Homo-oligomer: A and B are copies of this chain.
Amino acid sequence: MKAVIISIGDELLKGHRVNTNAPFIARQLGTIGIPVSRIVTCSDDPQSIRDSIISALEESEAVLMTGGLGPTNDDRTRKTVQELFGRGLVFDEPSFERIAELFRRRGRPVTEAMRSQAMVIEGSITVPNTKGTAPGMIVDCAPRFEGRHLVLMPGVPTEMEAMMRLTVIPFFAPLSGSFIRHTPVMTMGIGESQLSGMIAQVENELPPGTMLAYLPHAAGVSLMVSSSGTLREQVDAENRRVVEAIVERARLFVYAVRDVRLEEVVVEMLLEKKMTVAVAESCTGGLLASRLTDVAGSSGCFLQGMVTYSNEAKVAQLGVDPATIEQHGAVSEPVAEQMAQGCLERGGADIAVSTTGIAGPGGGTPEKPVGTICIAVASRSGEGEVTVEASTFTMHGDRQQNKTRFSEAALRGLLVRLKSSAA
């Protein structure tokens, strides 16, 4: 069994919006062992919708569509499907009740006109919309396409996502004959080619049914190990074996074997060790603090951040010695060390990290080109003694990429120190 995803929307074809619905649907189908053979984006135009549906149904057992449902879209998709299969509409009482209830809660009047939104294609299974108004539908395409199903969902991500989880996946799970296991292996501080060299042997000896994908991102690369087969236990065992072999070879660079961001691992470790953190940022400009505070529960360990962009702020807020800035420049390991130390002491935290560098596009020099970053980590030992250590890296991105990579390097610095700390 395989699936085709059809995303409807002129705004997608114009490139004004990135299609995030299709990858979500693909990942969900992946969890029940249904691979996606094609993703098609087509226009709002009925002819284009019809052509896409027919060619998708000729190719696969499950066709999942998003878009063109709901009040502002003139229900174009529903009408096209109706005409294609020669079916009428029937009134769905539970959908109407749900829509009416939503309007009542928002203090808006319930009108007869809303009944049209609660009309579903006859013979289809209604997919309740728990996050909006228009219901989705699972249409059995027999007799023309025997044993094939077409799923209609709205394009609004929150509505579609709830429908997938609550109704569509439970519907297709028993129809799928195979199991898939995906395990992400998250790495930091290593490039694709270097990582690839390190695990070449594992990659060359992958068992049949197991695949390895490299997923490079702004600050490094992660791996996805995917195994599939008809026996759940065998699939799981093979997947685990490959993951273990990779971790063994790339141990120094792997920070997790689950889909988790570096900042989440840092916050988890801080909370576990009951340690508090403070950050002092120059070139990352608040991004480091923002990433840490993105993590729910970070208020349990994150005390404060100082974004000291100007030299004056570094001196006033963090107690950096103006003479050090004068002698080594603001982007230097000695300044990074004083920033981290000042941040630790003034912030009253157990561990502190600082960043000072050149994000670009301006400000580079031959000795310190754009992309140069100095990072320092300061922490207190059990006896209250402060250890500060700085390091320098060079990144090769634009301003935005550099900020991301700088913040990643700082998180990495925190993680390494946390791992080695006794507390």
Contact = CB atoms under 8 A, between A and B. Distances in A.
Most buried by B among A10, A39, A347, A348: A39
Given A14-B213, A213-B14, A304 B313 contact: yes
Nearest to A29: B15
Given A289-B286, A403-B290, A226 B14 contact: yes
A144 interface: no
B30 A14 contact: yes
B39 A27 contact: no
Interface string A391-408: 000000001100100000
A73 to B, nearest CB: 11
A128 interface: no
B43 A40 contact: no
A18 to B, nearest CB: 5
Most buried by B among A12, A24, A41, A360: A41
A184 B301 CA distance: 42
A251 interface: no
Given A41-B38, A305-B307, A306-B304, A16 B27 contact: yes
Interface in A104-133: none
A204 interface: no
B41 A27 contact: no
A422 to B, nearest CB: 25
Contacts of A17: 23, 215
Contacts of A22: 15, 19, 41
A13 interface: yes
Contacts of A24: 15
A361 interface: yes
B403 A294 contact: yes
Interface in A34-55: 35-43, 48, 52, 55
A26 B347 CA distance: 49
Nearest to A306: B306
B306 A307 contact: yes
Contacts of A26: 13-15
Interface in A312-327: 312-313, 317
A10 B27 CA distance: 12
9 contacts: A11-B215, A14-B35, A15-B26, A15-B28, A16-B215, A39-B41, A285-B289, A290-B403, A305-B307
Given A14-B27, A38-B42, A289-B307, 6 more contacts: A13-B26, A281-B286, A285-B293, A293-B309, A294-B403, A304-B309
